[in-house]
A and B are shown apart, each in its own frame.
Chain A
């Protein structure tokens, strides 16, 4: 572990912007010191396109919508209470011969049987695949929407926007490329909302538009002509900004050809949303456009009923897509960390419908970069009745903000933790 950690620290220093300064030092010396954040007003305003520096560090955040059942993804088969709490839906102990037998992780945990690729990566000698279990925040909310907001803002409150956005703000430099964060989602996720311009498209195939030349002509002309522009309502200003940004995004990503992109190393992505989106993210990463943060979503984790059948489909999809993504990236995976998040864990016991209800503690999967893999991180609170929050849910002993902090500080090369995770007293996880 020590050698790997040193290795990555070295790599972090050499993979900065070539001037010998890490983003962190640039930030401290150049941006905050002057008291002015170099936040570009819009993508369109940044017409002089800064060039990426080759080894861009990338974080991919995959949000599992609905509250993934982490007690069946990374099942505590070694916990004496597990089998009793989940008599019909639980994952079986590896080697037990029981139906739904899990894949071995360590003495306590087993992976869901469909996570073949992830389990393989977890068990590799120099694994960069790790799980942080019993992960969450306190005090918890079991509302999908509230809890998701709490995760995406890192508990800073809606008004402060998302954690990714705040990181982009505190690390902004005048040399920023036009798009540092791109979400492959219907709208910009809350994690990316805020002062720093972030963008979303449902898929990069939408960046191929048949009428580009006329639009370009018109927008150029519109910028040149003079005339009265009446005072606009804020909603109308938003609409104008959106029009300019849309065109600028088309221009910026015109090098992509998602329909003809050929994954490397024999990687085969599933044809699902997650598979498609990770494939498209791989293309953007390889195109070296300087995008540092990607967000994508996998829907349908809210399994209140018939969990075994429904969860299996989602898990297999996730596993195959993530496996293909890292196969496809090959050596470039050293620069890429993928992290999964979900709005909460689920109740420890199965309900009457063969499903589980909204719970508290969940888990995060981390892959790539210099993740110290092959381990499950965190303190296991146990599933004994007295250990369960409210008598029903796994407790959260690790705070997700500490995991994200390690991603930003160690992998991305630095952040201002007080701005990004305000009020959080860091408890090291050690996953990076």
Chain B
């Protein structure tokens, strides 16, 4: 934390109460229970202070996680970026920053099979370093990111033969949204602004992979004519290297529009608060965005300090996507895992970052992650995880049960303590307990059992708990 920050009194808008702290852990981290380090940090520091620290991620020592990230995977490989992001979600102490990267990565969704692994990895690092800076900064980074250039064909957008792909999604998905009042003509004009934007790949002669990729502006491919948007921006058009500044100008203009503030605030609220955030809350967040000219730290702070953030109607109301679901489970158990194997399982849940083929990004509405199509692979994950069928991934049972539980009820209570924060319906607890008591009776588990006599049954119980509706939500 910066010294001036520590001196300044934090804006106390609400008491740092229990509900606020719990909701922060649920939404600003990738998963926590009362045994997790992040929970300890939050309790020691107080929720407000913890949030401020998370909003200044560089002030947090994260050397252990970063050392792991450097060693876990080759960033130029196909799954490199995915495994790196997974590693940070699992182990980083800068949890909120990586939540933001997860969000931004999806807002500016790119598909790694249409680009290079290293471009996705570099893009995530740049999302990280900008996640609490200005929105226009993120927008400019995205426009000039080799991953985006590859995904939306900016490289083949040239004077005389414009390619509208990026221009259209820039308006529809990244800034003013489909209701932002633009026309087909605006898309065409905007495409011309970005002519000449491309990327250059550097390949590794040994692996034949792209070792690096960087942005380049090619004035010879730039359309130097005048351009104008129907909603208030124009340029006389520049030739030579100055042609590049048209793109920078129009991005700054788009970032400054009310439609952009409204759309981006809505997306933030959907990700962090509720599938259907109240209009009032979105407009308060939008105000923070506008007042700070798009400063993301101010905006995100306003979101978490908003009185509605921890309202009971927002508690356990968001459904995890598959990535969040698996990471949440692993974090709660201090997951001893093979990150590459876990990344492959996330692929089976069809929610790996960088793997969505459509520029909209993955759905942020929970209902889209419900239904058999999503639950079946989660159930299979649960069963495979509980039974150690995932390579290099072992449930740390000694950590969960330092003492062998002697009754079915004890098994249920202990596992729920790790996996479920808010109370479960009585009926669910009762049915789970009956399940365990029945298994104990059927297999004649003695009163003072050995672990080996309990083990097969807690595995079955773990599978059931990981299938519960409550464990799909936060």
**For residue A221, which residues in chain B have a CB less than 8 angstroms away from its CB?**
431, 434-435
CA distance A401 to B379 in the complex (A): 39
The 0/1 profile, CB within 8 Å of B marked 1, for residues 224-255 of chain A is 01111110010110111111011001100000
A211 touches B379 (CB 8 A): yes
A302's nearest neighbour on chain B, judged by CB, is B165
A211-B379, A221-B434, A243-B468 as given contacts; A249 in contact with B372, CB under 8 Å:
yes
B245 within 8 A of A: no
A175 within 8 A of B: no
B366 touches A202 (CB 8 A): no
Which of the 9-residue segments A2-10, A181-189, A325-333 touches chain B? A181-189
One of B360, B425, B432, B467 near A228 (C-beta < 8 A): B425
A211-B463, A299-B357 as given contacts; A351 in contact with B163, CB under 8 Å:
yes
**For residue A336, which residues in chain B have a CB less than 8 angstroms away from its CB?**
none
B425's nearest neighbour on chain A, judged by CB, is A229
B10 within 8 A of A: no
B312's nearest neighbour on chain A, judged by CB, is A233
B438's nearest neighbour on chain A, judged by CB, is A217
**For residue B369, which residues in chain A have a CB less than 8 angstroms away from its CB?**
187
Which of the 9-residue segments B65-73, B94-102, B154-162, B234-242 touches chain A? B154-162
B163 touches A305 (CB 8 A): yes
A206-B380, A214-B464, A243-B467 as given contacts; A228 in contact with B373, CB under 8 Å:
no
B427's nearest neighbour on chain A, judged by CB, is A227
B371 touches A245 (CB 8 A): yes
**For residue A344, which residues in chain B have a CB less than 8 angstroms away from its CB?**
none
A353 touches B435 (CB 8 A): no
B460 touches A353 (CB 8 A): no
B153 touches A358 (CB 8 A): no
**For residue A353, which residues in chain B have a CB less than 8 angstroms away from its CB?**
153, 156-158, 161, 163
CA distance A359 to B139 in the complex (A): 27
A185-B373, A236-B317, A353-B156 as given contacts; A242 in contact with B469, CB under 8 Å:
yes
A227 touches B426 (CB 8 A): yes
B434 touches A230 (CB 8 A): no
B6 within 8 A of A: no
A146 touches B178 (CB 8 A): yes
One of B367, B379, B425 near A215 (C-beta < 8 A): B379
B159's nearest neighbour on chain A, judged by CB, is A352
B49 within 8 A of A: no
A207 touches B373 (CB 8 A): no
CA distance A218 to B435 in the complex (A): 6
CA distance A233 to B474 in the complex (A): 12
**For residue B470, which residues in chain A have a CB less than 8 angstroms away from its CB?**
236, 239
One of B172, B184, B380, B435 near A217 (C-beta < 8 A): B435
**For residue B372, which residues in chain A have a CB less than 8 angstroms away from its CB?**
199-201, 242, 245-246, 249-250
B156 touches A305 (CB 8 A): yes
CA distance A155 to B182 in the complex (A): 21
A239 touches B373 (CB 8 A): no
A239-B319, A305-B153 as given contacts; A199 in contact with B371, CB under 8 Å:
yes
A201-B376, A245-B372 as given contacts; A222 in contact with B383, CB under 8 Å:
no
Q: Which residues from 424 to 474 on chain B have a C-beta closer than 8 Å to any C-beta of chain A?
A: 425-432, 434-435, 438, 460, 463-464, 467-470, 472-473
A210 within 8 A of B: yes
CA distance A302 to B151 in the complex (A): 11
CA distance A430 to B313 in the complex (A): 53
B377 within 8 A of A: yes
B168's nearest neighbour on chain A, judged by CB, is A143
A300 within 8 A of B: yes
CA distance A218 to B464 in the complex (A): 8
B380 touches A390 (CB 8 A): no
B374 within 8 A of A: yes
B380 touches A210 (CB 8 A): yes
A123 within 8 A of B: no
A143-B168, A214-B435 as given contacts; A239 in contact with B472, CB under 8 Å:
yes
A238 touches B379 (CB 8 A): no
Q: Which residues from 158 to 194 on chain B have a C-beta closer than 8 Å to any C-beta of chain A?
A: 158, 160-165, 168, 172, 178, 184
CA distance A183 to B198 in the complex (A): 39
**For residue A227, which residues in chain B have a CB less than 8 angstroms away from its CB?**
425-427, 429-430
B431 touches A218 (CB 8 A): yes
B337 within 8 A of A: no
A357 within 8 A of B: yes
A358 touches B370 (CB 8 A): no
B313's nearest neighbour on chain A, judged by CB, is A233
B431 touches A143 (CB 8 A): no
A304 within 8 A of B: yes
How many Å from the CB of A256 to the closest CB on chain B?
Answer: 13
B161 touches A242 (CB 8 A): no
How many Å from the CB of A223 to the closest CB on chain B?
Answer: 9
**For residue B366, which residues in chain A have a CB less than 8 angstroms away from its CB?**
235, 238-239
**For residue A222, which residues in chain B have a CB less than 8 angstroms away from its CB?**
427-428, 431
One of A65, A215, A352 near B160 (C-beta < 8 A): A352
B375 touches A243 (CB 8 A): yes
Q: Which residues from 351 to 379 on chain B have a C-beta closer than 8 Å to any C-beta of chain A?
A: 357-360, 363, 366-377, 379
B284 within 8 A of A: no
A228 touches B370 (CB 8 A): no
B275 within 8 A of A: yes
B316 within 8 A of A: yes
CA distance A325 to B178 in the complex (A): 38
How many Å from the CB of A114 to the closest CB on chain B?
Answer: 22
Extra A-B contacts (19), CB below 8 Å, given A200-B371, A211-B382: A142-B168, A183-B373, A187-B369, A202-B350, A206-B373, A210-B384, A211-B379, A215-B379, A217-B438, A218-B464, A225-B427, A227-B429, A235-B275, A236-B470, A239-B473, A243-B467, A245-B372, A352-B160, A357-B164
Q: Would you list the 6 A-B pairs with minimal beta carbon distance, nearest first?
A: A352-B161, A227-B426, A353-B156, A239-B469, A242-B370, A222-B431
- A sample of 13 inter-chain contacts (CB < 8 A) reads A142-B184, A144-B359, A188-B371, A200-B371, A206-B377, A209-B379, A225-B431, A238-B319, A242-B469, A246-B379, A300-B357, A353-B161, A357-B164
